[in-house]
């Protein structure tokens, strides 16, 4: 096994035992990137020289007996929507090409303080708007299981980097499924925390009331380790919750006998791929055999979540993206007559078609005469969706369902049909509307293309530890059955 194939838990054990060097791990990571990324296109920027220098310094500290930090030298890839000091951050958009942040996002500062090393920035759908990673302004990322298929979006670059062993762990963001869908499509673990659990300071906003930073990892314990580093209150973020952070790694060791599970029947109706349904139901059976009581429930308002989500997300996007105008940073078109013409040309040339579509729809929904009919009504539906979940969680601890109704679809299959594309996240969007934590874990593969299938576990607000308990017990029970790797 090359060192780039290690899980975080394995890496940290070997580092603390002084069995391996950080420098050699980083070199193996870059060797893998050199070998496969010209084909997969997971990365937009590589932090090669700085990462190697930091690895050498960390090895010196370890050699000289200094305190070994919790993530000593751990290589981390970062979605290109999270600000990284002195590393270009583009959000996958031409309008931010050349933007180099002068500061680190809070999550970046925390993992750096814990000793982690940033190895590069990963490709994404422009400003997080997409379910397939085909909306990047720079390149299309390919699924390592079958390069004719999408990796999911918008954190597709981060998911591919983890699945293809180009990093040991990656950070992503999830507005409506952007961590969980790529995790499902690429056969890894994707964790979306409760809204407010992780600071959004330094995250370039798409939809402020929905966005949340999370992790993409090779295993459940890896996600728990990183979550314990990045979670916690941050005074720089007004939406950050001042709630104690439990030991997520310790929670993994607990059983699930006292937990109550439910399967929402609305997630198993028309439109669900038969192989996805079979794999998820097999997973539900395994969880019940591990000691969990599983019932069937109804979430009656869930059918309205998709249109409500897109109205809210597009409205917030139209407001958040208004600041990208060519004045302060990023792209500026200079062949203009006056300031207004410069705005028009810069935004027309800087934004891609999907971003423009969402800005226009969002602006329309917020405009005079339409605010009450669209945006306000969508917020009322959001309340109803949240009440459905609140009602369910009065009796149950975890809801089980598919992450996506389909396995990874072919590149180009949905790009010209936005409505079909939006349906890829139909099972993940309601969780963002309600601000809940959720995790996607591999639960099987399709027969024809051997593409991964994801099981989604949804928990109560700020009860991520319950999700980790279930996911780890399930992962341990299945072992190598669902921890296969793509052939590259």
Instruction: Determine whether 79 is an active site residue.
Output: yes
Q: Which of 215, 283, 262 is nearest to 443 (CA)?
A: 283
How far is 483 from 488, CA to CA, in rounded Å?
A: 16
Q: Which of 7, 41, 79, 121 is catalytic?
A: 79
Largest CA distance in the chain: 70
Q: What angle do CA 112, 170, 115 make, to 5 degrees?
A: 20
Instruction: Determine whether 154 is an active site residue.
Output: yes
Q: Which of 21, 178, 184, 440 is catalytic?
A: 178
Instruction: Determine whether 323 is an active site residue.
Output: no
Hey, how many other C-beta atoms are within 10 angstroms of the C-beta on 327? 12
Q: Can you say how many angstroms the Cα of residue 69 is from the centroid of all Cα atoms in its chain? A: 25
Report whether the peptide linkage leading into residue 154 is cis, meaning its omega lies within 30 degrees of zero: yes
Helix/strand/coil for 349: helix
Q: Which of 182, 179, 129, 165 is nearest to 409 (CA)?
A: 182
The answer to whether 393 and 460 are in contact (CB under 8 A) is yes
Helix intervals (H) in 214-331: 220-230, 248-252, 274-289, 305-320
Hey, how many other C-beta atoms are within 10 angstroms of the C-beta on 93? 28
Q: Which of 154, 184, 199, 440 is catalytic?
A: 154
Please count the helices (runs of H) and the strands (runs of E) in the chain. Answer: 16, 11
Element (H, E) at 177: none
Q: Which of 215, 251, 7, 250 is nearest to 111 (CA)?
A: 215
**Is 465 exposed, middle or buried, given 0-12, 13-18 or 19+ CB atoms closer than 10 A?**
buried
The answer to whether 44 and 121 are in contact (CB under 8 A) is yes
How far is 473 from 70, CA to CA, in rounded Å?
A: 24
The CA–CA distances, whole Å, from 56 to 31, 47, 72, 347 equal 17, 14, 12, 43
Active-site residue numbers? 79, 154, 178
């Amino acid at each position: 096994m090359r060192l780039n194939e290690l899980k975080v838990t394995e890496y940290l054990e070997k580092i603390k035992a002084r069995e391996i060097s950080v420098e050699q791990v980083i070199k193996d990571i870059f060797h893998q990137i050199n070998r496969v990324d010209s084909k997969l296109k997971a990365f937009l920027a590589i932090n090669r020289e700085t990462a190697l220098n930091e690895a050498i310094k960390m090895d010196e500290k370890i050699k000289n007996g200094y305190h070994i930090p919790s993530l000593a030298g751990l290589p981390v890839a970062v979605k290109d929507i999270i600000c990284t000091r002195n590393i270009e951050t583009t959000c996958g958009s031409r309008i931010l090409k050349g933007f180099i942040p002068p500061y680190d996002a809070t999550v970046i500062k925390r993992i750096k303080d814990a000793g982690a090393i940033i190895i590069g920035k990963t490709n994404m759908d422009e400003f997080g708007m997409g379910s397939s990673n085909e909306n990047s302004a720079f390149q299309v990322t390919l699924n390592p299981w079958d390069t004719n298929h999408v990796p999911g979006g918008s954190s597709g670059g981060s998911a591919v980097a983890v699945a293809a062993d180009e990093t040991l762990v990656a950070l992503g963001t999830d507005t409506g499924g952007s961590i969980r869908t790529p995790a499902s499509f690429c056969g890894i673990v994707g964790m979306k925390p409760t809204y407010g659990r992780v600071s959004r300071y330094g995250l370039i906003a798409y939809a402020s009331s929905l966005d949340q930073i999370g992790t993409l990892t090779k295993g459940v314990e890896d996600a728990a380790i990183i979550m314990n580093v990045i979670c916690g209150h941050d005074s720089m973020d007004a939406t950050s919750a001042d709630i104690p952070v439990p030991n997520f790694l310790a929670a993994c060791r607990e059983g699930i006998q006292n937990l109550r599970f439910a399967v929402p029947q609305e997630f198993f109706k028309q439109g669900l791929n038969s192989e996805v349904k079979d794999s998820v139901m097999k997973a539900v059976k395994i969880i019940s055999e591990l000691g969990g009581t599983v019932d069937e429930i109804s979430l009656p308002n869930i059918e309205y979540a998709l249109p409500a989500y897109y109205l809210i997300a597009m409205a917030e996007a139209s407001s958040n993206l208004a600041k990208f105008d060519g004045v302060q940073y990023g792209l500026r078109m200079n062949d203009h007559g006056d300031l207004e013409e410069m705005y028009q040309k810069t935004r027309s040339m800087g934004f891609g078609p999907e971003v423009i579509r969402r800005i226009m729809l969002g602006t329309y929904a917020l405009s005079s005469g339409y605010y009450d009919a669209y945006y306000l009504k969508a917020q009322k539906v959001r309340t109803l969706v949240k009440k459905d979940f609140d009602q369910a969680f009065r009796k149950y601890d975890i809801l089980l369902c598919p992450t996506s109704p389909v396995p990874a679809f072919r590149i180009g299959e949905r790009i010209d049909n936005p409505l079909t594309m939006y349906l890829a996240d139909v099972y993940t969007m309601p969780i963002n509307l309600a601000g809940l934590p959720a995790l996607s874990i591999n639960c099987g593969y399709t027969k024809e293309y051997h593409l991964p299938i994801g099981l989604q576990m949804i928990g109560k607000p700020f009860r991520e530890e319950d999700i980790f308990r279930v996911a780890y017990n399930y992962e341990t029970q299945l072992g190598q059955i669902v921890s296969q790797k793509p052939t590259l």
